[in-house]
Amino acid sequence: MLEIHNSLTGRKQAFQPIDPPRVGLYVCGMTVYDYCHLGHARAMVVFDMVVRYLRASGYQVRYVRNITDIDDKIIQRAASLGEPIEQLTRRFTEAMHADADALGCLRPDEEPRATAHMDAIIKMIEALIEKGHAYTAGGDVYFSVAAFDGYGALSGKRPGDLRAGARIESDEAKRDPADFVLWKAAKPDGPSWPSPWGDGRPGWHIECSAMSTRCLGNHFDIHGGGLDLQFPHHENEIAQSEAATGEHFVNYWMHNGHVRIDDEKMAKSLGNFTTVRDVLAAHDPESIRHFLLSSHYRSPLNYTADALDQARASMERLYLALRGGERDDQPGGHDKAYAERFYAAMDDDFNTPLALAVLFDLAREVNRAREAGESDRADGLAGELRRLGHMLGLLQGDAEGFLQGGSAEDPAEVARINALVAERDQARAQRDFARADAIRDQLIGEGIVLEDGTGGTRWRRGR
């Protein structure tokens, strides 16, 4: 049975959906004011992996990931570029989709935008005011943390701790330093929407509460996001959602760890981030995805060029096992042990490092079977390797194409190498060994590994 580490309880719990086999999953998405960095990519890939595995396990997952398309950072970036906000957010939303597609991520079933849900946001704020959990102050609306008894259950941060050493700025009208804004009064020339409290725009936290409950209901199964969102964003989501609806909000909270550079958190605010498109320009997408899944999703992940090179080498090992052929039918007998080990790893809070280890063991068994001349068994095992890899979003492509450089390889370059390999095969057949050796040396000098076999010569990129 699948167990998930629940950030709310701090322990693993057996996964029991509210309405099986249906599962509602909401993940906090991007604030679209710039290109995605590897920290964003990790969240994309981690929760894509979760969706793939849940669906492979028989669950009917409704996957919702929001887009924040109105925010202080968006307003500031649009102003600095002299670009309309709608144009800026559309441009970076398209860039985000391109990055996620390249990394093999499935599109969410629904991708709500904050600006398209103003009615739901306003209704939730109205409910909070009516129930005494929020108050107006000079055109702004604030959530009263003191009025919600359960505040701090997710993060362990209690209101008294938040008040210690805090002070209220002179331009703020909130009653308590721990209170947070639900609605901001409009500023001159700033974007705004009409509301019962005057023109303005929502605070960041209320957006996700309104969108998640509208898409999945007041009470749903899983809420996910990066560890940096646990406080205050997700803590505030719990408070405002449960205060507004009177219902339990989410059963399982999942948080992925940070991507770090030189053991420091990667973040735009720190200026040390690496964009997904920059990494894609230097490394193939599947190797990047492998890297992002190579550590347990809750652990920090340190980014280095060497780590990406190692991920490439690992993917080559898997694709080399697929290169000889594969069958879709399921292997029988003792070979089922690989699938059982894979499921056991994934059922243990999505332990992808252990699941990847099973894939490498299976790849070795494929190679042993081929070397022993057991072609049917090897092909069946290779089919199983492909099937299990798909649950992680890996082994999606053609083995030959990956080994010849992957999606980053120039088709004209592949054609040139293929022509040289064919010329070498012809020279060998004609016993022109001087020409064959010259071509071999040329290709080896270009980092090409040649593999001679009874069916001719195949090649792949060396490291």
265 in a known ligand binding site? no
d(Cα 378, Cα 380) in Å, to the nearest integer? Answer: 5
Contact indicator for 384, 331 with CB cutoff of 8 Å: yes
Paired tokens of 212: 């998640």
Among 401, 385, 446, residue whose Cα is nearest residue 420: 446
36 in a known ligand binding site? no
Among 332, 339, 461, 442, residue whose Cα is nearest residue 389: 339
b/e per residue 19-35 (b: at least 16 CB within 10 A): eeeebbbbbbbbbbbbb
Cis link prior to 20 (omega < 30° from 0)?
no
215 in a known ligand binding site? no
Q: Is 56 exposed, middle or buried (0-12, 13-18, 19+ CB in 10 A)?
A: middle
105 in a known ligand binding site? no
* Number of Cβ within a 10 Å radius of residue 194: 11
Please write down the HEC assignment for all residues of the chain.
CCEEEECCCCEEEECCCCECCEEEEEECCCECCCCCEHHHHHHHHHHHHHHHHHHHCCCEEEEEECEECCCHHHHHHHHHHCCCHHHHHHHHHHHHHHHHHHCCCCCCCECCEHHHCHHHHHHHHHHHHHCCCEEEECCEEEECHHHCCCCCCCCCCCHHHHHCCCCCCCCCCCCCCCCEEEEEECCCCCCCECCCCCCEEECHHHHHHHHHHHHHCCCEEEEEEEHHHHHHHHHHHHHHHHHHHCCCCEEEEEEECCEEECCEECCHHHCCCCEHHHHHHHCCHHHHHHHHHCCCCCCCEEECHHHHHHHHHHHHHHHHHHCCCCCCCCCCHHHHHHHHHHHHHHHECCCHHHHHHHHHHHHHHHHHHHHCCCHHHHHHHHHHHHHHHHHCCCCCCCHHHHHCCHHHCCHHHHHHHHHHHHHHHHHHHCCCHHHHHHHHHHHHHCCEEEEEECCEEEEEECC
* Binding site, annotated residues: 28, 208, 233, 237, 268
Which residues carry a binding-site annotation for Zn(2+)?
28, 208, 233, 237
Q: Which residues are annotated as a binding site for ATP?
A: 268
